[in-house]
Structure 1
Amino acid sequence: MTPKRKMTPKRKRLWLLIGSLCVLGAAAALVLSALSDNIVFFYSPSQLAEKHVPPERRFRLGGLVEEGSVRKEGSEVRFRITDLNRSLEVVYRGILPDLFREGQGVIAEGALDRDGVFMAREVLAKHDEKYMPPEVAKALKESGRWQEGEGTKK
């Protein structure tokens, strides 16, 4: 039989430090996991074509509502969002914002279905004549279709 060793104060502090680091690491992992579920990326139709986002992955799609593309079928609304280079079909079930109309900036949150149609859960529209969502304005500038003085914040 071997005699039991007495734990020294130095060894006790070491084990306390190791245990504390493990608990802190587990807490950090849980927080990061919760945050990653809430991250929603923004894409314009052109960026979306380049990124190849997998179906069912939630993101925001922004651009202008394409002229002549809005069709209402009961509670379902179909329209196209464009960045003036590419456009994408959007389906939304629900009540659209009062300010939603063709030619205006919108951001839709949702996911692509297997057919490449964007199934929107929420649609956000601009709130005054000069406002355009910053992400939409940036995407239009990157596409080279931005005209200075259009859709800027007052």
Structure 2
Amino acid sequence: MRGLKKKRRIQIIVVAFVALAISTALIGYAMRDGINFFRSPSQIAAEPPTEREVFRMGGLVEEGSLRRGEGKTISFSVTDGGATIPVTFTGVLPDLFGEGEGMIGTGRYVNGVFEASEILAKHDETYMPKEVVDALKEQGVYQEPDAKDSRS
């Protein structure tokens, strides 16, 4: 009787371990496309990602780089002060999108051009995403919003 209880307990532990391993593998498989890493233009220039990798890139829209193409295709450049990456986007840009403003785009880096599938722009005159601020500070080009306003 004792041997049977011990054997049953070991079987339950093994089944629980196998179920835990399978559920962990399924969660990892489901999340493989859901995690988008943030990269600054300088990081992309230093270590270009693969063409299949989807990630987020952010920085400032370079002055004078915004060009509207045929249809809804728009091209512009994004910079963090250390490097500049050309971007193409097909779709409708957010209302607050503009040159010299902060943005984050989700997409792929193909043949030296970031092909964005989604563009996010700041939502007021002082907001800039934390990742963009950090990248700009790293390059030494970030200015506090008050310093920017005092020049005008």
What TM-score do the two structures reach when normalised by structure 2? 0.89
Residue type at the aligned position of 1:109: T
Calculate the aligned-residue CA RMSD, in Å: 1.7
Q: Give the Å deviation of 1:78.
A: 0.4
Q: Give the Å deviation of 1:86.
A: 0.8
Task: Pick from 101, 110, 118 the counterpart of residue 122 of structure 1.
Answer: 118
Q: Give the Å deviation of 1:52.
A: 2.5
Q: Indicate if the aligned counterparts of 1:129 and 1:151 stay in contact, CA closer than 8 A.
A: no
Structure 1: any 5+ residue segments left out of the alignment?
1-6
2:92 is aligned with 1:100: no
Structure 2: any 5+ residue segments left out of the alignment?
none
Q: Give the Å deviation of 1:150.
A: 5.5
More helix by share: 2
Which residue in the other structure is 2:73 paired with?
76
Q: Indicate if the aligned counterparts of 1:70 and 1:79 stay in contact, CA closer than 8 A.
A: yes
Q: Give the Å deviation of 1:37.
A: 2.3
Q: Indicate if the aligned counterparts of 1:108 and 1:120 stay in contact, CA closer than 8 A.
A: yes
Q: Give the Å deviation of 1:151.
A: 8.9
Which residue in the other structure is 1:22 paired with?
18
For residues 24 and 77 of structure 1, do their structure 2 counterparts lie closer, same or farther at Cα, with a shift above 3 Å needed? same
What TM-score do the two structures reach when normalised by structure 1? 0.88
Percent identity of paired positions between Structure 1 and Structure 2: 44
Task: Pick from 27, 31, 47 the counterpart of residue 31 of structure 1.
Answer: 27
Within-5 A mapping of 1:4-23: 8-23=4-19
Q: Indicate if the aligned counterparts of 1:70 and 1:102 stay in contact, CA closer than 8 A.
A: yes
For residues 53 and 132 of structure 1, do their structure 2 counterparts lie closer, same or farther at Cα, with a shift above 3 Å needed? same
Q: Which has the larger Rg?
A: 1
Q: Indicate if the aligned counterparts of 1:78 and 1:92 stay in contact, CA closer than 8 A.
A: yes
- SS, match of residue 95 in structure 1: coil
